[in-house]
Amino acid sequence: MNKPLIVITGASSGIGAAAAKLFSRAGHPLLLLARRVEKLEALELPDTLCRRVDVTDRAQLQAALAEAEARFGPADAIVNNAGVMLLGAMAQQDPDEWQRMLDVNVKGLLNGIHAVLAGMAARGRGTIINISSIAGRKTFPNHVAYCGTKFAVHAISENLREEVAGSGVRVITIAPGAVETELLGHTTDEAIKAGYQEWKQQMGGVLAADDVAEAIAYAYGQPQRVCVREIVLAATGQPA
């Protein structure tokens, strides 16, 4: 194959699915990971391995990567996109929701990095793309635990970038504002969800998943000697 393997976590919908379609059109073989493997298979993308993987399970993730690399060759990039957003006021929110976000948004991200990093460093090239959020740069009401996980993504990404810069591996952070995906549906507080939907309408609409996928593809498409360290994007009408 002319194009190298790209790994995408959380690829069953939203940004992950949009990125999968875009990279597939560009000719890349793919390893798509999600808990809902039927959604991955429904994308019907060529040269694609779909596996049911929980990113919090390091062994599952590593096994899927080994299978894909045996078939398609070494992974040239991973898009660490899997994430959950469970909004809530700190005094009322179920602590299990904090734990879920920490497990997926932070531990899952680290597992994705760990799966590919040694091989990339040994080959002297590779790209790690971590999907964060504007909520990893500033705070919002009812976002305390979620912001904590996304601030962690920013810190992990930048520190990792410094650590591996000399090995030829790029680390890129993509920080979108509000995006029309399934993410808000994870929140269990109906009043918070209603307020978020009203906020989206007030700004005149939000980003589409395809907008974020284009940003991912742009950053990856730069020459390997160029690292676009961070892209922050939001709907023009989003004030915060």
Q: Catalytic site residues?
A: 146
Backbone angles phi, psi at 90, to 5 degrees: -55, -40
The beta strands (E) that lie in 53-207 are given as 75-80, 126-131, 169-176
Q: What angle do CA 173, 51, 75 make, to 5 degrees?
A: 50
Measure Cα distances from 50 to 8, 57, 65, 75, 208 in Å. 10, 16, 11, 15, 24
